[in-house]
């Protein structure tokens, strides 16, 4: 007779600052088969999770919840994480100040922590309040540059069928002009490589074009750099997985995020996938809506 223990049921607590996309995330998780409950009073949550869960559960919590407190949320998470029948994890969504201000401006809503003040005041208060919770998150996602489609793709990768229980790796390119993306576990600077931007035929291409890749490969430092990065990551990924981490995010940056970082991201993502790792990739600047012009300085 088999004595194998039943697999614990997933319970995802979704939190983060107002305007970062919590409601959208809750809807996505509901589409993925989770029972989704948003803005439930914190005092009712022990009752909701008292009995064995019959399906995955997603709970949305933010400062607008009745009786919300950081200590209350962290205590709840601590209680859930010691249970054998539940795999409780915290998904924390965030966005930069400019994005949050723009979103509040577009919706013309008042910030719950600053109803009679400019939204930026509430945004800063909330960021400081939620910092201890952010530090306890297994999943951290910056939605500043994500469309609803991008957000859904990320959550599907993490929490879709067979997701969440696998160790996922995301690799992304970015521009240092716009700053390193938040929530990235490690970054590599590609700005020392030969810059295709200064070659007129390549300027408006990207690292996804073979001509750009061929040009970057002519840099004598390219092969040694990518080989050592691959070796480092292949050494570290099993260690992070064994430590209990569910996801690792890796960023490659260059000046404009269009050429060098894009090509290196493609090469590293391919190398990790060939070794059997579950890899997703994203090119932050390319994914943005291009105006057709390239920033001065290139990538």
Annotated binding-site ranges: 16-23, 62-65
- Kindly report the number of other CB atoms within 10 A of residue 93's CB atom: 27
What's the per-residue H, E or C state across the chain?
Answer: CCCCCCCCEEEEEEECCCCCCHHHHHHHHHHCCCEEEECCCHHHHHHHCCCCCCCCEEEECCCCCCCCCHHHHHHHHHHHHCCCCEEEEEEEEECCHHHHHHHHHHHCCCECCECCCCHHHHHHHHHHHHHHHHCCCCEEEECCCCCHHHHHHHHHHHHCCCCCCCCEEEEEEEEHHHCCCCCCCEEEECCCCCCHHHCHHHCCCCCCCHHHHHHHHCCCCHHHHHHHHHHHHHHHHHHHHHCCCCEEEEEEEECCCCCHHHHHHHHHHHHHHHCCCEEEEEEHHHHCCCCCCCCCCCC
The answer to whether the CB of 25 falls within 8 A of the CB of 94 is no
The answer to whether the CB of 25 falls within 8 A of the CB of 91 is yes
Binding residues for GTP: 62-65
Show Cβ contacts of residue 297 under 8 Å, excluding neighbours closer than 6 positions. 177, 197, 255, 256
């Amino acid at each position: 007779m088999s004595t194998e223990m039943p697999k614990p049921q997933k319970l995802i607590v979704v939190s983060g600052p107002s305007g970062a996309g919590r409601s959208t995330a809750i809807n996505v998780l509901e589409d993925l088969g989770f029972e989704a409950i948003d803005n439930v009073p914190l005092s009712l949550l022990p009752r909701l999770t008292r009995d064995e869960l019959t399906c995955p559960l997603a709970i949305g919590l933010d400062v607008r919840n009745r009786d919300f407190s950081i200590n209350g949320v962290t205590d709840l998470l601590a209680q859930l994480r010691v249970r054998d029948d539940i795999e409780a994890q915290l998904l924390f969504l965030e966005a930069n100040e400019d994005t949050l201000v723009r979103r509040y401006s577009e919706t013309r809503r008042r910030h719950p922590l600053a109803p009679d003040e400019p939204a930026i005041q509430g945004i800063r208060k909330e960021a400081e309040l939620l910092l201890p919770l952010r530090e306890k998150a297994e999943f951290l996602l910056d939605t500043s540059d994500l469309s609803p489609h991008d957000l859904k793709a990320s959550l599907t990768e993490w929490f879709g069928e067979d997701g969440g229980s696998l160790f996922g790796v995301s690799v992304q390119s970015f521009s240092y002009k716009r700053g390193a993306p938040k929530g990235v576990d490690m970054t590599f600077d590609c700005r020392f490589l030969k810059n295709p931007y200064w070659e007129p035929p390549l300027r408006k291409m990207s690292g996804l074009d073979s001509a750009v890749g061929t040009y970057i490969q002519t840099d004598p430092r390219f092969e040694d750099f990518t080989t050592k990065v691959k070796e480092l990551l292949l050494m570290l990924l099993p260690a992070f997985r064994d430590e209990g981490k569910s996801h690792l995010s890796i960023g490659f940056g260059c000046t404009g995020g269009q050429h060098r970082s894009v090509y290196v991201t493609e090469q590293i993502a391919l190398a990790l996938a060939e070794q059997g790792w579950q890899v997703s990739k994203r090119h932050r600047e390319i994914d943005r809506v291009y105006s057709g012009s390239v920033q001065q300085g290139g990538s």
